[in-house]
Every structure is written in C-alpha cells, then in structure tokens.
C-alpha cells in the first residue's frame, strides 16, 4: 500500500492510478467512508485516459488513526501533502459530502495552484448546522444524534444510516445489501475517535470564506432527495457563493448518488473535465 507522511507524522493512504502525465482527478470522500467510495468513478475515468488519485482521510480507511489533528484544517493540509508528494498539477478536484468541505478548505488554505476545476457532490458547505448567520440549517440536535449513534453502537448505526444515505427508505426503493455492507465495511475500518471528531467538522464549520476563494470553473452536483445534506442549505447556497459556479440537480437522487447514479455522475465528470 502507498502512504504519504503528513506534517505531524501521520501516514495517509492513497491510490494513484494511470499515466502520470495524464490529466488528474483528485477525489475526497465523505464521512464515515474512505477512498473506496469513489471506485466506480475512478475505474471509469481511468478507462477514459485520466490519472485518478484518492486518499483515505486521517482516522478513516487505511490511514493512521491519530488522536490529534482530526479537524478540517489538518485534513486540508493532509490533502496538500498528498498532492505535493505526487506533484499533481491542473487537477479536477472532486469532493463528496465532508470531502466537499475538505476541497473547499484546501483551496482556502493552499489556493488553486494545483487545481484546474472543482466538482462538489452532495457537499456540506457552506455549513450544515443552523447558526445566527445561517438560520436555515439543521438543528444541532441532529448532529448530537450522530455523535450518540457513533458512541453507543457505531456498527448498527452505520447499517441503519446506509438506508437513508442511499435512499432505500423511499417508496418503491429496494434494500441493496451490497451497498449497505460496503458502507458498513468502510465505516468500521476507520477510527471511532476520528469519525466522532469529524462530525463537528462537517456540521459546525463554516466554509463560506473558503468557497469565495474558489477561482476556477466549479460544478455543484446535488440530489434533490438528499436526506443527509439537504440541497436547499448546501448545493443551492454553494452555487450562489462560488463565483460563476454551475448547479446541476439530480432529480430524485439521494446523498449516495455516486453509487445510485453512478453512470450519470461519471458522464458529467467526463464532460466537465473535457470542456
């Protein structure tokens, strides 16, 4: 397995597939998952001639599980360490959910020197939790519930969370055991310490200032049936804050649309990269 060592010594696992001279995609995954969540996109884009890179956030997947540094500034710096070590340039950065916050904070802290385009998929910015500035957000009790679920019995909690994550609780939908199991497996591979701390980072951190610094073409993709990160307080607002961003709404799509709408997302990523 391949690792980059972050500034504090934490080892960050990464995948790097394809011709090193090809145009790169860099993927940031959602919570509580790992880079495997992007397999359907990475294989497709690799087959279409792109270099594809993804890492496991610290405390998630195969990366180290430190008790410190489980905050968005450090996540962004870890991502920078990966991109610098691999000498990535002119990348299409793609972030899903928490990974969208990570991409935004990366640009907020490190700029767009290595970035050509950005895609935010079901992403958490500008901020999920309700605040004085953003009164339309979710009540903090929602995130306290997530913390309780992780603390009490995260194994069962992840099995249960997979159902609305992929929209399996909607009328006419079927339970897909494979998606539930891969969600559970990715979640349980990570650290309870890192995953618990990460809840604060995707819910209560304000990414508005970071979004305003995105000065490259940006595509915002969001499902209008996202039960985890509601579109009205996420994708819709983000598309208004990021200069010249384009919002593309997937009708009926859930939060886990990279799996449920894999072919549609793959086609949109390919078109956006080639445009």
CA dist 44 and 49 (Å) reads 9
CA dist 212 and 41 (Å) reads 27
167 — phi, psi (to 5°)? 70, 25
Decide if 255 is catalytic.
Answer: yes
Q: Please, which contacts does 43-46 make with residues 24 or more away whose CB atoms are closer than 8 Å?
A: 44/266, 44/270, 45/266, 45/269, 45/270, 45/273, 46/17, 46/18
Q: Which is the catalytic residue, given 29, 60, 255, 261?
A: 255
In angstroms, the Cα distances linking 112 to 29, 67, 76, 131, 170 are 19, 30, 13, 29, 39
Neighbouring residues of 42: CB distance < 8 A, sequence distance ≥ 6: 15, 17, 25, 27, 52, 54
Q: Is 52 helix (H, G, I), strand (E, B) or coil?
A: strand
Decide if 226 is catalytic.
Answer: yes
Closest CA to 183 of 20, 79, 80, 36: 36
In the DSSP assignment, the letter for residue 23 is P
Q: Which is the catalytic residue, given 226, 233, 259, 261?
A: 226
Q: Which is the catalytic residue, given 35, 63, 97, 203?
A: 97
Residues in the chain: 275
Which residues participate in catalysis according to the annotation? 97, 226, 255
């Amino acid at each position: 397995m391949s690792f980059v060592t972050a500034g504090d010594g934490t080892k960050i696992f990464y995948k790097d597939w394809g011709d090193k001279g090809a145009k790169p995609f860099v993927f940031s995954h959602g919570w509580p998952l790992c880079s495997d969540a992007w397999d359907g996109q990475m294989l497709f884009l690799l087959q279409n001639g792109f270099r594809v890179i993804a890492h496991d956030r610290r405390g998630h997947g195969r990366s180290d599980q430190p008790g410190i540094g489980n905050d968005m500034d450090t996540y962004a710096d870890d991502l920078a360490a990966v991109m610098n070590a691999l000498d990535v340039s002119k990348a299409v950065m793609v972030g899903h959910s928490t990974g969208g916050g990570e991409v935004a904070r990366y640009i907020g802290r490190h700029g767009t020197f290595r970035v050509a385009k950005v895609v935010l998929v079901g992403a958490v910015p500008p901020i999920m939790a309700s605040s004085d500035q953003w009164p339309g957000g979710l009540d903090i009790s929602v995130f306290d519930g997530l913390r309780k679920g992780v603390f009490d019995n995260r194994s069962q909690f992840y099995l249960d969370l997979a159902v609305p994550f992929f929209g399996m609780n909607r009328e006419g939908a079927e339970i897909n055991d494979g998606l539930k199991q891969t969600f559970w497996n990715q979640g349980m591979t990570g650290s309870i310490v890192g995953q618990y701390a990460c809840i604060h980072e995707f819910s209560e951190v304000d990414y508005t200032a970071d979004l305003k610094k995105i000065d490259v073409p940006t595509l915002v993709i969001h499902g209008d049936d996202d039960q985890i990160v509601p579109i009205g307080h996420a994708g819709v607002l983000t598309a208004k804050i990021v200069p010249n961003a384009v919002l593309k709404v997937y009708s009926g799509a859930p939060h886990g649309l990279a799996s449920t709408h894999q072919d549609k997302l793959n086609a949109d990523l390919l078109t956006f990269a080639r445009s």
